[in-house]
Amino acid sequence: MLLSWLVWRVLVREKIPQLRVLMYHKVSGNGDRDGLTVPANSLEAQFNYLLKQGYTPLLLSDLLNYTRTQTPLPQRPVLITFDDGYRDNFTVMYPLLKKYGMKANIFLVPAFLQPEQAHDHANNEYLQLSDIQAMDQQLVEYGLHSYDHKSYKKLTPDEINQDIIATKRLLQSMDISYQPCLAFPYGAFPKRNPVKRLQFYKTLAANDIELAFRIGNRLNRLPLRNPLLIQRLDIRGDDPFEKFVSLLRKGKNKI
């Protein structure tokens, strides 16, 4: 009976339309790995696995079209995201993206970006404008990740409002095209207090944010229950490949 029940759960889960959103940060070209840093060979193995398993990578604009007009998504959609705008997203990740014909989305922190060519090591950690301009818009799109990476859980509604306004204003001044999509810094938002959470949603809507992302480590059933609270899977560089496969397959918990 137990075996039959488990088989039934797997079959049900596979039939439910789901969106997987992967969250990355840094990519190393020298084999370094930690919670935020995935080595290039691991990322390449993950890209290869996604394609072999029939997953189709999306851009943020694809997901927006789905939520706006019910434009159908592919059978196994996956949204690949990178937070903070580290320069290795261009120097290490982007060549792999082109090699495998993948698509990715980078959530930018405009205060971190380098407007001119940076020569010192400290300023070379984040993307430069020339890097952003060099990436193919058919393969990479950009979203918002706050102005300077302050936790929205700790800010007042007015401070969050001003943060989003400043984020968009600075990206526009840099002539960087972005989608009306926001990833919460640290995945944090006013989760516990329903009144503050509702005000938070209203602030996002007032700033024309159509899709917003937390962490959560769960799969998202389609259609999306709350487009302003999409869950992402935290892909860590210090986890084994088997953990990636398990997380991709069922998230943190079974459905």
Q: d(Cα 154, Cα 199) in Å, to the nearest integer?
A: 14
| Residue 79 tokens, joined | 């949204």
CA dihedral sign, ordered 205, 223, 198, 108: negative
* Terminal Cα distance for the chain, rounded: 19
- The residues that bridge with 106 in the sheet, in sequence order, are 82, 142
Burial class (CB in 10 A: 0-12, 13-18, 19+), 55: buried
Q: Which residues of the chain have pLDDT under 50?
A: 5-8, 10-12, 121, 254-255
**What pLDDT sits at residue 117?**
59
Cis preceding-peptide flag for 223 (omega within 30 of 0): yes
21-31 pLDDT per residue, tens: 999 999 999 99
From the list 167, 162, 212, the residue with the least C-alpha distance to 190 is 212
pLDDT of residue 114: 83
Give the model's pLDDT for residue 238.
97
- Which residues sit opposite 82 in a β-bridge? 24, 106
Lookup result for tokens 């950009």: 142
Cα separation, 23 vs 230, in Å, equals: 12
pLDDT, tens digit (0-9, with 9 covering 90-100), for 132-170: 999 999 999 999 999 999 999 999 999 999 999 999 999
Alpha-carbon Rg for the chain in angstroms: 18
21: Cβ–Cβ under 8 A, 6 or more apart, which residues? Answer: 78, 79, 81, 213, 220, 230, 231, 232, 233
Residue 211 near residue 228 (C-beta atoms within 8 A): yes
The residue assigned the tokens 């995935």 is: 38
Task: Give the span between the Cα atoms of 58 and 61, in whole angstroms.
Answer: 8
